[in-house]
Structure 1
Amino acid sequence: LRFLFRGVSARAFVRPFSTLDHSRIRFASKSDHRRFRAVIIRRPPKKAIERIKELFLMNVRYNANLVEIEYPQRLDAYDIGSNIACGCHAAVYELRLRRTSEYSDAEAAMSSASRHISETTTDPIIAYPLALKIMFNYQFDAPERYLWADMGSELVPFVDANRLIKGHLPVLQTLRRSHPNVIKIYTAFADCMPMLADAQSLYPEALPNANFYELIIDQPKTLFIVMKRYRMTLREYVLTVKRNYWIARVMLGQLLEAIVFLYEHTISHRDMKSDNILLDFDSPEEAPHLVLSDFGCALATGSWLVPYPDDTIDLGGNLALRAPEIRCAHPGPGQIVDFRMADLWACATLGYEMYTRFPFSCVHTSNCIWSRELSGA
């Protein structure tokens, strides 16, 4: 009995409920609680947007940046296929690695089964998984360093671009890391301009003729960009695939992800249109993987502000989808144009096209909307 009375406090008999408060304080402490019970870590449930981000970041199909392959930097290491698109400044062709190429690093990454499929399949995406962008060099006698200085903005999405343009473009700010909703560029190099079968009919002005060959010593060169190939553009998608509002929301969300990523790096695309939005998918029923491409008009100087003293200053390539503050800007001494929110306006106009299948410029224009807002104010 003496041992029992020593172990039990007398206050427990006089005040039997006094120990309840002591127990509450004791077990409220996490350190004391973990001594007697198993540690249970409860993580908050992931939201739908977080699961979508994880899918696009960790899945090799949607994020080709997870596979690091060193591609050759010579044109004779590739097989060039048919023309995909052609514009005023560049032409895009189908591309694949040449099996007899001495550059075996990238070819070794492809299994023999995948090579067999690429040769026997009728799907052009599998047969030619790469895309080659041939930049048009109209100054045939210009040195090679001129190509990197004049066309270097095309390499803004290329993470390893600083190694190529070092010393040519000191003010160009490239992306420090890749993003699944920004086009994947594998490599870029300068080489001789090829004489392809359809070149004379598609872009005769960009081909050197006999008069130029008499004036120059070396063979003209231009810039080549090797990229991942995608199935179609956004414009082709909205014209050929049945409209689906749920898929439109997914595509618009991916485009906003790309805009936010560029905003974090102080980069403005300035040429957003449905032809520069590329989509990749296996069947029309699934939500496409969307990427933003063609950074030739991008503002990548580390600042949103551009002096606008006269009309010779380039404000971007897409006049129809320019933001109202850019469209209505007037040149003059001390005038500054701010591109901070220019891409967001263009993104909203592309969202209009995703949902309605009609271009925004066919119904509205940025300058008339700006005028109505000013008059309403």
Structure 2
Amino acid sequence: MSVKHAISRGLELGRSVLQLGLFKSGGRFAAKLRADRFRVGPSVRTVQPQAFLPSRYRYYRTSLKGLAAQLQSAGFRRGFTGGSPRNRAVFLAFGLGVGLIEQQLEEDRKSAATCREIQAVFRKKGFQSPLKPFTSGYKLEDYVIGNQIGKGSNAAVYEAAAPFAPPKKKKNHDDRTSPLVQINEEEESQRTQSLSCCSLRNFPLAIKMMWNFGAGSSSEAILKSMSQELVPAGPLAMKQEKEQIILDGHFGVVPKRVSAHPNVIRVFRAFTADVPLLPCALEEYPDVLPARLNPAGLGNNRTLFLVMKNYPGTLRQYLAAYTPERRHASLMALQLLEGVAHLCRQGVAHRDLKSDNVLLEFDSDGVPRLVITDFGCCLAQRDSSLQLPFNSMWVSRGGNASLMAPEVVTAVPGSGVFIDYSKADAWAAAAISYEIFGQQNPFYGAQGLDSRTYREDQLPLLPSAVPADVQLVIKLLLRRNPSKRPSACVAANMLHLSLWGQRALVNQDSAGMKKLADWLLCQSAVVLLKGCRGSSGNRVEAELQRSFLSNLDLEDLRTAVGFLLYGREQHQACIMSA
């Protein structure tokens, strides 16, 4: 072998390490490193993420510069110690090849710094509350309560208004009647409130009255028993003296709170008060009333009240009569994942995600805006691990057994057993996406699949009109093994890139991450300019773009790109083979 040929072989070897370790979209190198983490079985071809060195190899990633220098030094030393020209050339060329990896890692560090800078800009802007802030409203007497608009297994919801906080004046294009309004006006036989725009203007708030069976009638006991309901509460939701009460067995510790997000409900006020006799109470829920209101009632005299924004209806009500257009449906699925990802980042698992627990309104362009609500079953541990000790059958797994993820519903209690909820809500969101795209939820009904036993090949096909990238995300999230699913953050990034980052996904090569960083900078500038003009401040797409940019993470983004590219390769291969 000539020296020239040895040098070319060494450079080729170094280049192959670079391509396999960082950029190749096939994922074979990553699959070996991750010990089949993403492989379902020998007979199933599944989507793999773009290959990259995982976090446990971070030492080598940060030490490549030193490794390259050592290899180059060894090549020079062999030149002075009598080594053969071929070996000297191989050592030197391989050192140069590994040095190329260090150059790319430097580009990655620059891309990560870009992500952090963009994230800081959009996090500083924050999320604006949908209602004008007010300073009163800590008593039930402060509100005018209207008709009942909802009822669940543990609470009733009523429309309300606050005389001390007049509603904002809306522009003409926001005053139009939504499709959901027409549905409820036609169903006058049901005892549900007509959700006309006039009703929403007159009653912009909603009051949720919890049913109190066994918590007692003291404020401390009520707040301790129902502390999960306070997870989406704002910083001024309770009076200062109420914040310093005994909760979860610790004096002065308030419940875990999540920050504001456009796709998560916001509780503006939370207080305890005597249970009143509200409209439809004796007909709808007589058993939960206290004895002073119903002699046969079993409830306590006081309970917890939560004040929130009044939304036109639930996702289930809307989907019962309408199938949203394709782009709107994709945006709705993305909003669900954005809400779940926000909760996961803050160490909260909802554990009762279903279309009944998702509220819906419309932005100025008529695009549905989804908001996750009802946190009564949530897991909000202070260590943010989302792992619940499961040492007894008395430990609650959550609500809605039909949409419990496989790892939750199949858990067997025992010493040292934990249920991991980190990807359970994302699994439920994927199942709900079937409803959003006009299909029956595959896990509902007598003929539906059982999350304990279903096989992935039993999942029904989505309509062909559903974008391929969206179908890919839903398919990945419904994998039985949670370690083979993307996280909610990665899944949301996949949909963001599919909707707005098509150019950034073209020709992903050794300069791919730099192109992606350039696209992120351009996208940031566009969003900021639109915000300054005030042309899209309250629109769903603008909110989603701001949420995406405020939570940028290079590793999540890289993984999302890899999933998308490999999925498209597999899709093209299937088309060619057909």
TM-score, normalised with respect to structure 2: 0.48
Q: Which segment is superposed worse, 327-336 or 126-135?
A: 327-336
1:192–1:221 CA contact under 8 A, matched in 2: yes
The one-letter code matched in structure 1 to 2:230 is: L
Higher strand fraction (1 or 2)? 1
- Secondary structure in 2 matching 1:190: strand
- Can you list the C-alpha shifts for 1:128-178, whole angstroms capped at 9, x where unaligned? 111000000113754221110011111101132685443332476533521
Look up the match of 1:64: 130
**Structure 1 CA distance, aligned partners of 2:432 and 2:254?**
27
Structure 1 residue aligned with 2:321 = 240
| 2:146 alignment counterpart | 81
Q: Which region of structure 1 is more displaced relative to structure 2, 162-171 or 252-261? A: 162-171
Kindly indicate whether the alpha-carbon contact (under 8 Å) linking 1:95 and 1:128 is maintained by their aligned counterparts in 2.
yes
After superposition, the Cα gap between the structure-2 partners of 1:71 and 1:210, relative to the gap in structure 1 and judged at 3 Å, is closer
Residue 252 (structure 1) shift: 1.0
Aligned amino acid, residue 167 of structure 1: I
Distance in 1 between residues matched to 2:136 and 2:319, nearest whole Å: 33
Q: In the TM superposition, what are the counterparts of 1:28-39 in structure 2 within 5 Å?
A: none
CA distance in 1, matches of 2:277, 2:293: 16
Rounded to whole Å, the distance in 1 between the matches of 2:341 and 2:371 is: 13
Larger Rg: 1
- Return the structure number with greater helix share: 2
Counterpart in the other structure of 2:524: none
- TM superposition shift of 1:276: 0.5
Residue 295 of structure 1 is matched in structure 2 by: 375
Q: Distance in 1 between matches of 2:313 and 2:212?
A: 26
- Match of 1:366? 451
Structure 1: where are the runs of 5+ without partners? Answer: 1-49, 99-103
Structure 2, unpaired ranges of 5+:
1-117, 176-195, 458-479, 482-578
Shift of 1:243: 3.3
Give, in whole Å, the separation in 1 of the partners of 2:208 and 2:293.
26
Query: How far off its partner does 1:357 sit?
Result: 4.0
The answer to whether structure 1 residue 168 and structure 2 residue 246 are counterparts is: yes
* 1:186 equivalent among 268, 282, 290: 268
User: How far apart are residue 110 of structure 1 and its match?
Assistant: 5.4
After superposition, the CA RMSD in angstroms is: 3.5
**Which aligned pairs between 1:1-377 and structure 2 lie closer than 5 A?**
63-64=129-130, 67-98=132-163, 104=164, 106-107=165-166, 123-139=198-214, 141-160=216-235, 163=240, 164-169=242-247, 170=250, 173-209=255-291, 220-281=301-362, 286-302=366-382, 303-362=385-444, 363-369=448-454
Tell me if the contact between 1:188 and 1:223 (Cα under 8 Å) persists in the aligned partners.
yes
Contact 1:140 1:220 survives alignment (8 Å): no
1:71–1:186 CA contact under 8 A, matched in 2:
no
Which whole-Å CA distance do the structure 1 matches of 2:170 and 2:433 have between them? 42
Instruction: Give the Å deviation of 1:335.
Output: 1.7
Contact 2:323 2:438 in 1 (8 A): no
Question: Is the CA contact 1:185–1:226 (under 8 Å) kept in the aligned structure 2?
Answer: yes
How has the CA–CA distance of structure 1 residues 210 and 222 changed in structure 2, closer, same or farther, with 3 Å as cutoff?
closer
1:212 deviates by: 9.0
Q: Equivalents in 2 of 1:329, 1:112: separation in Å?
A: 50
Kindly tell me: are residues 272 and 92 of structure 1, through their superposed partners in 2, closer, same or farther at Cα, counting changes over 3 Å? Answer: same
Percent of aligned positions with the same letter in both sequences?
34
CA, structure 1 residues 282+265, in 2 after alignment: closer, same or farther (shift >3 Å)?
closer
Q: TM-score, normalised by structure 1?
A: 0.72
Shift of 1:365: 2.4
Letter in 1 for 2:143: Y
Distance change (3 Å), C-alpha of 1:358 and 1:339:
same
Displacement of 1:186 in angstroms is 0.9
8 A Cα contact 2:127 2:261, kept in partner? no
Partner letter of residue 205 of structure 1?
D
C-alpha distance after superposition, 1:67-126 (max 9, x if no partner): 43224111111111111111221000111114xxxxx4x34x757999xx9xxx863222
Which residue number in structure 2 is paired with residue 19 of structure 1? Answer: none
CA–CA distance in structure 2, aligned partners of residues 299 and 288 of structure 1:
27
Distance 1:353 1:295 in 2: 22
Output the amino acid matched with 1:166: Q
Q: Distance in 2 between matches of 1:93 and 1:238?
A: 22
Aligned residues: 305
* Post-superposition CA distance 1:336-357 (Å, at most 9, x none): 1111111111111111111134
2:404 counterpart letter in structure 1: R
Note if contact 2:323-2:436 (Cα within 8 Å) is conserved in structure 1.
no
Cα gap change, 1:133 to 1:222, in 2 (>3 Å): same
How many angstroms does 1:290 deviate by? 1.0
